[in-house]
Amino acid sequence: MVKNPREEVVVENTICIEDVKFTLMWDLGFLELNIPKSNYFYNQFYNVPLHSHEYYEMTYSNDVLELIYEDKTRFFEGGTLVVTPPGKNHAQRRAPDYKNTGNNTLSFCMKKIPVSSDIPLYDILTKLFDNDYAFRCPKRALEIISSFDRDTQNTIADDKIAISLALHELISIMIKVAGKKSETKPSRKISDSNAARTYKIHMILSNYYADDISVEYIAKKLGLSTRQVTRIIKSVYGKTFKEILVERRMKLAAKKLVETDQNIAEIASSVGYNAAKGFYNAFKKYYGCLPTEYRKKQTENK
């Protein structure tokens, strides 16, 4: 058997959710080692020999997935999410056009960290993954795993906040599908955790920034205090609610100025400003010039 050397692994990002530190890995590969041919499968669809590694390997495929282990071969229906734990010898059979079958893999390490947590996530996940996790999951799981890939068009690989939120959503899906719940606090589920609150706040900011929203509005929607919402926003974004709101509005306005023929009043209204004057003032403060000047400058630079 061959073991994948750590030197081959290009790592990064490190994300903390509850009491777990996840280290996500990209660009995993096998060096051309002097492996005897007898260790390879004489089948063009096996891209590596039977092997193990020091991290978890999560695989999702829309097509039938075939995994071979030392003692057995297992076939999984399309739409099954499989997690292979560290130290387990395995190999995957790929279809000739596997790139087009919705096949994607995410590799990661998990480490327990000493923090106060709403739920014992580390214990839940290690127990879940070490018992041959293989469940039918919604396509959303594939979308999330695919979004971590640096080679995809809409990758979030370099956006730590986006990765954290997406990873939390993926974990929530997996635990829900497996029917696992916290054993320490029966009244709480992962959807009530701090990470979930962060995710919900992010979704509100992403979807309703053009509306008349406030910290009070978000707190009421989520059943939290304004102090809790303010603390979460500051800890995650390192900015105030107002700063995030203005940033999102200005970036979308700048995009529309360059990519559309909408007039300034239409753009102002679409990003949450009822009065053009307020929009002009906010835009100039953020970009250092008026919207009309920004549009002209960007058009000339094309």
Position 8 scores a pLDDT of: 45
Give the mean pLDDT of 210-233. Answer: 87
Is pLDDT above 80 for 30?
no
Let me know: does 145 contact 58? Beta carbons within 8 Å. yes
Categorize the per-residue pLDDT at 174 as very low, low, confident or very high, splitting at 50, 70 and 90.
confident
Q: How far apart are the first and last CA of the chain?
A: 55
Let me know: does 146 contact 58? Beta carbons within 8 Å. no
Position 48 scores a pLDDT of: 60
User: Percent of the chain beyond pLDDT 90?
Assistant: 21
Position 3 scores a pLDDT of: 41
99-103, 184-188, 263-267, 283-287, range with the lowest pLDDT? 184-188
Position 185 scores a pLDDT of: 37
Q: Which candidate, 299, 289, 293, 288, places its Cα nearest to that of 258?
A: 299
Let me know: does 80 contact 72? Beta carbons within 8 Å. no
Give the mean pLDDT of 158-171. Answer: 82
Position 207 scores a pLDDT of: 73
Position 265 scores a pLDDT of: 93
* Distance of alpha carbon 5 from alpha carbon 31, whole angstroms: 8
Is pLDDT above 60 for 6?
no
Categorize the per-residue pLDDT at 176 as very low, low, confident or very high, splitting at 50, 70 and 90.
confident
Tokens 């949450």 locate to: 272
Cα four-point dihedral sign 192, 230, 114, 159: positive
Give the mean pLDDT of 171-182. Answer: 72
**Assign residue 127 a region: left if phi > 0, alpha if psi is -120 to 50, beta otherwise?**
alpha
Categorize the per-residue pLDDT at 188 as very low, low, confident or very high, splitting at 50, 70 and 90.
very low
Mark 64-94 as b/e (b = at least 16 C-beta within 10 Å).
ebbbbeeeeeeebeebbbbbbbeeebbbbbb
Mean residue pLDDT of the chain comes to 77
Position 102 scores a pLDDT of: 55
Position 29 scores a pLDDT of: 46
Position 117 scores a pLDDT of: 67
Categorize the per-residue pLDDT at 273 as very low, low, confident or very high, splitting at 50, 70 and 90.
very high
Categorize the per-residue pLDDT at 87 as very low, low, confident or very high, splitting at 50, 70 and 90.
confident
Let me know: does 173 contact 141? Beta carbons within 8 Å. yes
Spell out where the chain has E strands. Answer: 2-3, 10-17, 20-26, 51-52, 56-61, 65-69, 73-76, 80-84, 90-93, 104-112, 134-136
Is pLDDT above 90 for 291?
yes
The larger pLDDT score, comparing residue 203 to residue 182, is at: 203
* Distance of alpha carbon 131 from alpha carbon 69, whole angstroms: 14
* Distance of alpha carbon 292 from alpha carbon 227, whole angstroms: 39
Query: Which pair of tokens denotes residue 61?
Result: 């495929």
Cα four-point dihedral sign 120, 81, 92, 48: negative
Position 32 scores a pLDDT of: 37
Max alpha carbon distance in the chain (Å)? Answer: 75
pTM, to two decimals: 0.58
Give the mean pLDDT of 232-248. Answer: 86
Mark 259-277 as b/e (b = at least 16 C-beta within 10 Å).
eeeeebeebbeebbbeeee
Q: Calculate ∠ Cα 26-125-131, nearest 5°.
A: 100
* Distance of alpha carbon 168 from alpha carbon 195, whole angstroms: 7
Give the mean pLDDT of 157-180. Answer: 80
Is pLDDT above 90 for 292?
yes
Give the highest mean pLDDT range of 104-118, 180-194, 206-220, 269-283.
Answer: 269-283
DSSP 153: T
